[in-house]
Amino acid sequence: MQVTICPERAIMEHVTSRWGVLVLQALSDGSSWRFSDLRRKLEVVSEKMLTQTLRTLERDGFVHREVKPVIPPHVEYTLTPLGKGAAGHLVALSSWIEANYPEVAQAQNRYDEA
Amino acid sequence: MQVTICPERAIMEHVTSRWGVLVLQALSDGSSWRFSDLRRKLEVVSEKMLTQTLRTLERDGFVHREVKPVIPPHVEYTLTPLGKGAAGHLVALSSWIEANYPEVAQAQNRYDEA
């Protein structure tokens, strides 16, 4: 497999970025999220990093941003159909890691004892 | 879905780290790689970062490191069966991005024009 620097690799970096992974996984529950709720969910993310991550994912067409015309107005984020496709792969990887974690922990113990 | 800070999330970060993604994808071709060949393949990675990435993936049980007793000795890296499982998910995500890249590019154009 050829690993080259190309636009596709940039998208791979957006999707697998630290906060990209967590935002896509959080939104993959299918509901719409307010900025403040997402920020609470992700715990240690700064406002600036979350804004930047959401903007990148919106630009890539993975996240839909909607301003709700209520008083006071607020913004809600959901996955687009395209975003559901990307998020599905992250959720699958995450489930795989959870299922195989005991084997990983064993490997870590062997490594640390060697 | 609950996103919490836990050991599984640390493994997710190793697998989806910038160089973790590229190392696992490169090794997923099934052959064994020498350090210098991997470094050439990944292009812009520093020696220190590649060493660190390989060590983390070896400790997690994803990568097997073998010192070849030749003169001069050299080291070869392959995926373990566990590593093949993790890498398979990255390859699937990467193929998905490649297949859907036209739609992502369209979204980016719409965003930039708005």
B100 is a domain residue: yes
Query: For position B3, what pLDDT does the model report?
Result: 46
B1 is a domain residue: no
Q: Write out the two tokens for B71.
A: 């003169």
C-alpha span between A54 and B7 (Å, rounded): 25
Query: For position A45, what pLDDT does the model report?
Result: 83
- The stretch B21-41 carries a mean pLDDT of 94
Residues of A in contact with B11 (CB under 8 A): 97, 101, 104
CA distances from B73 to A11, A77, B63, B67 (A): 38, 54, 19, 7
Give the residues of chain A that fall short of pLDDT 50: 1-4
How many Å from the N-terminal Cα to the C-terminal Cα in chain A? Answer: 33
Query: For position A103, what pLDDT does the model report?
Result: 97
Number of domains in chain B: 1
Is it the case that residue B4 has pLDDT exceeding 60?
A: no
A2 is a domain residue: no
- The stretch B6-26 carries a mean pLDDT of 94
Query: For position B44, what pLDDT does the model report?
Result: 80
Query: For position A58, what pLDDT does the model report?
Result: 98
CATH code at position A87? 1.10.10.10
Work out the minimum CA distance from A26 to partner chain B, whole angstroms.
Answer: 6
Contact between A3 and B22 using a beta-carbon 8 Å cutoff = yes
What confidence tens digit (pLDDT) does each residue in B46-57 have? 899 999 999 999
Is it the case that residue B30 has pLDDT exceeding 80?
A: yes
A1 is a domain residue: no
Range of the domain at A80: 7-113
